[in-house]
Amino acid sequence: MTNSLKARQRPFAASLSMARASVSLAWSIAVKCATPRDQLRVRCLGDADISRPVGQLEPEEIVLWLAAIPPSREIATGEPAMLSVDRAAKVLDADEIDRMGRFLHIEDRTSYLAAHAGVRLMLGGLVGQPAEALRFQPSEHGKPMLIAGPVEIDFSLSHARGSVAVAAARMPIGVDIEPLREIVDMDSVAEIVLAAEEREVLQNAPAARRSQLFLRYWTLKEALLKAAALGFTIAPNSVIVDAGPSPAVLSVPAALGSAAQWRFIAPAIRRPTR
């Protein structure tokens, strides 16, 4: 067996619990529903679950898969993971394979591969169809929609270098994930992303926590705009959120409906270690 073939058969995407993901990642889920936040349930899938039937999706349930994609040089044989590169690539269609090939960095390609294979495996398990047989089409503003699937099932995916999030529910849903890191030129980026009152909260936060807080704002808003299927036709700084321990939507443009219809699920902001 060649080294190339061995590499393709090696696991490459390790599932994360919500608690473990929160150590190094900012992630957020947004859903639009009438159910109170404390009555929503999140089922976080592990390595063994993502490639087998997911089971019945309850009306107030969110199915979530979080994963880390280590640099290829750090992946060890036998490490628990979702599936091999070869197995994941087999469930993608030709357009997805083509888009994956356009990424310049291997970590970006494998993150894309994990996200798109993961969403196919999750949805295939939910609707009882082979993952490779699923077909998608974009909505008016680009959100992928499942063709010939139950109309009430919505899904969302997000990938950044080395990290993946996939979520599905019987309600409009969006998910976003970002590695925790220092944000360069935060003030200029904040002008685009944050409303005036949110920028004030950011400026008053301890310096060591500002990047983490900004990424929390960013993932909350990105998840909400994905759930609304409107993307950046809505300016992020026109959405006002409370990014505190129990994040909430405070104000949205009319196109997003009522702020009271939106729910967030996100981990607590971790205090920086010294």
Sequence letter at residue 239: V
Backbone angles phi, psi at 164, to 5 degrees: -140, 145
pLDDT of residue 272: 53
Q: What confidence tens digit (pLDDT) does each residue in 220-273 have?
A: 999 999 999 988 899 999 999 999 999 999 999 999 999 999 999 999 876 554
* Mean pLDDT value across the chain: 87
| 54-82 burial code (b ≥16 CB/10 A, e <16) | beebeeebbbbbbbbbbeeeebeeeeebb
Tell me the C-alpha distance between 77 and 11, whole Å. Answer: 7
Residue in the structure block whose two tokens are 């996939």? 166
* 8 Å CB contact between 232 and 172: no
Predicted TM-score of the model (pTM): 0.90
pLDDT at 271: 59
Which amino acid, one-letter code, is at 73? R
13 within 8 A of 66, measured Cβ to Cβ: no
Sign of torsion over alpha carbons 30, 35, 38, 44: negative
148-157 long-range Cβ contacts below 8 angstroms, 24+ apart: 149/123, 153/57, 153/123, 153/126, 153/127, 154/227, 155/119, 155/122, 155/123, 156/223, 156/226, 156/227, 157/115, 157/116, 157/118, 157/119
Q: Please give the pLDDT value at position 269.
A: 76
pLDDT at res. 148: 79
Instruction: List all residues 6 or more positions away from 155 whose beta carbon is below 8 Å from its beta carbon.
Output: 119, 122, 123, 144, 146, 166, 167, 168, 169, 173
Question: Would you put residue 100 in left (φ > 0), alpha (ψ -120 to 50) or beta?
Answer: alpha
Residue type, 7: A
- Max Cα distance, the chain (Å): 59
Q: By the 8 A CB rule, do 166 and 173 touch?
A: no
For residues 225 and 220, what is the distance between their CA atoms, to the nearest angstrom? 9
Which residue carries 């019945």 as its tokens? 56
CB-based contact 190:233 (threshold 8 Å) = no
Span 150-167, pLDDT tens digits: 778 999 999 998 999 999
Residues of the chain with pLDDT under 50: 1-9, 73-81, 273-274
Q: Which two tokens stand for residue 108?
A: 């970006």
